[in-house]
């Protein structure tokens, strides 16, 4: 995000404003002026501060109110006008924010080592999609839908799964699987994929020997997801049109394959609780999905236990 820009975002059902201070640090705060609740994301940057568009109140990078114009530009600021900034880290071209206390996490940004970084051969693409983020993660860990959902874009792909590897190491689920033609089948081609999944929302997939991507499926709210992907290719150097090739692969994959085919199928899945897949009957080909939901459930249980402990501490203090 460029210096001087102010962006409003909804993440996990909560409204945020994102802006950069003069040191280019990303700042995230609740998108609500403490004065009369206007959206700060409609405001602008003035004097290194975020200025509320309604009455010009200014907030610095630490969330301190620095000016209330109606009181006079040099008037002291009374208490109660602070906006608490959230804990933010920036890495690999993404801004990560912690909804709770940063002290409660280890503060490390999630990433899949070896995944594409920004380069002359990579391209980034983002979309807002009307599904729960866990359905997107589930789809990213699944390849045996290819001969059915993508039969028009990847015709003739084999239907039987051969699992060469599917294991978890250091919180990363790594799998190498092939779709092979079955006996007497009209599906004739073999397709090989390697994929990696990790919490909270990252997936990386090699869609061919030389084209791969990393994706983050971030929850906007329970029913909507912000999906961000970075594609990279190893066929052409950047100066020979590598970026253009990566862009073409990304647009084909997102606009045609994912949006027209996967998304149409995902939106037919029926679950009351998006995180509860106990109603599924998984098969061997779904092994990576089963492992991802196992990780997700464990992390949710730990977070819940921590918040209960926090509540007990808070209650004990009164
Ligand atoms: Fe798909």
- What pLDDT is stored for residue 1 in this prediction? 61
- What's the 134 CA to ligand 1 centre distance in angstroms? 14
112 vs 259: which has the higher pLDDT: 112
* Helix H or strand E segment including 138: helix 133-140
Q: For 21-26, what is the mean pLDDT?
A: 88
- What pLDDT is stored for residue 317 in this prediction? 45
- Domain-wise residue ranges, the chain: 6-104, 122-298
Distance separating alpha carbons of residues 276 and 274, to the nearest angstrom? 6
Condensed to tens digits (0 to 9), the pLDDT of residues 91-132 reads 999 999 887 665 555 668 899 998 999 988 888 999 999 999
- What pLDDT is stored for residue 243 in this prediction? 78
Check if the beta carbon of residue 29 is closer than 8 Å to that of residue 84. Answer: yes
Rounded to 5°, the CA angle 168-145-281 comes to 65
Q: For 287-291, what is the mean pLDDT?
A: 96
- What's the 258 CA to ligand 1 centre distance in angstroms? 6
* pLDDT above 50 for 225: yes
Check if the beta carbon of residue 80 is closer than 8 Å to that of residue 177. Answer: no
Q: For 19-45, what is the mean pLDDT?
A: 94
- What's the 111 CA to ligand 1 centre distance in angstroms? 22
Check if the beta carbon of residue 57 is closer than 8 Å to that of residue 69. Answer: yes
- What's the 147 CA to ligand 1 centre distance in angstroms? 9
- Please name the residues in contact with 14: beta carbons below 8 A apart, sequence gap of 6 or more: 30, 99
Question: How do beta strands 87-91 and 122-129 pair?
Answer: unpaired
Tokens 């092994």 found at: 287
Q: For all residues of the chain together, what is the average pLDDT?
A: 89
- What's the 146 CA to ligand 1 centre distance in angstroms? 6
* 3-class secondary structure, 311: helix
- What's the 191 CA to ligand 1 centre distance in angstroms? 13
Distance separating alpha carbons of residues 160 and 154, to the nearest angstrom? 15
- Please name the residues in contact with 249: beta carbons below 8 A apart, sequence gap of 6 or more: 207, 211, 231, 233
* pLDDT above 90 for 12: yes
Q: For 285-293, what is the mean pLDDT?
A: 96
* pLDDT above 70 for 2: no
* Helix H or strand E segment including 19: strand 14-20
- What's the 263 CA to ligand 1 centre distance in angstroms? 8
- What pLDDT is stored for residue 79 in this prediction? 94
Domain 6-104 annotated CATH 2.102.10.10? yes
Question: pLDDT confidence of 257, banded at 50, 70, 90?
Answer: confident
Q: For 146-173, what is the mean pLDDT?
A: 91
- What's the 174 CA to ligand 1 centre distance in angstroms? 18
- What pLDDT is stored for residue 309 in this prediction? 79
Q: CA of 256: how far to CAs of 24, 153, 185, 248, 260, in Å?
A: 36, 8, 26, 11, 5
Given the candidates 3.90.380.10, 3.30.70.890, 3.40.720.10, 2.40.50.140, the CATH classification of the domain at 122-298 is: 3.90.380.10
- Is-same-fold flag (6-104; 122-298)? no
3-state percent breakdown (helix, strand, coil) of the chain, nearest 5: 25, 30, 40
- What's the 64 CA to ligand 1 centre distance in angstroms? 47
- What's the 250 CA to ligand 1 centre distance in angstroms? 13
- What pLDDT is stored for residue 318 in this prediction? 42
- What pLDDT is stored for residue 315 in this prediction? 58
């Amino acid at each position: 995000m460029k210096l001087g820009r102010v962006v409003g975002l909804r993440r996990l059902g909560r409204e945020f404003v994102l802006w950069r201070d003069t040191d280019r640090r990303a700042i995230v705060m609740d998108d609500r002026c403490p004065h009369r609740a206007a959206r700060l994301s409609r405001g602008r940057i003035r004097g290194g501060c975020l200025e509320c568009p309604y009455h010009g109140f200014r907030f610095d990078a630490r969330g301190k109110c620095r000016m209330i114009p109606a009181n006079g530009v040099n008037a002291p600021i009374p208490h109660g006008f602070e906006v608490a900034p959230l804990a933010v880290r920036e890495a690999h071209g993404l801004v990560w924010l912690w909804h709770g206390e940063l002290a409660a996490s280890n503060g490390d940004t999630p990433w899949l080592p070896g995944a594409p970084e920004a380069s002359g051969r990579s391209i980034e693409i983002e979309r807002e999609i009307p599904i729960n983020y866990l359905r997107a993660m589930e789809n990213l860990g699944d390849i045996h839908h290819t001969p059915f959902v993508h039969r028009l874009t990847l015709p003739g792909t084999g239907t039987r799964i051969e699992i060469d590897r599917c294991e978890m190491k250091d919180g990363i689920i790594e799998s190498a699987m092939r779709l092979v033609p079955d006996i007497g089948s009209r599906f004739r081609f073999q397709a090989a994929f390697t994929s990696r999944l990790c919490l909270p929302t990252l997936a990386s997939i090699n869609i061919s020997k030389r084209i791969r991507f990393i994706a983050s499926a971030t929850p906007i709210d329970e029913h909507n997801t912000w999906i961000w992907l970075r594609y990279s290719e190893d066929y052409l150097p950047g100066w020979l049109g590598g970026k253009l090739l990566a862009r073409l692969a990304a647009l084909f994959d997102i606009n045609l394959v994912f949006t027209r085919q996967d998304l149409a199928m995902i939106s037919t899945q029926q679950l009351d609780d998006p995180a509860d897949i106990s109603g599924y009957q998984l098969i061997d080909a779904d092994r990576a999905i089963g492992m991802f939901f196992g990780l997700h459930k464990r992390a949710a249980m730990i977070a819940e236990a921590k918040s209960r402990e926090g509540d007990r501490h808070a209650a004990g203090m009164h």
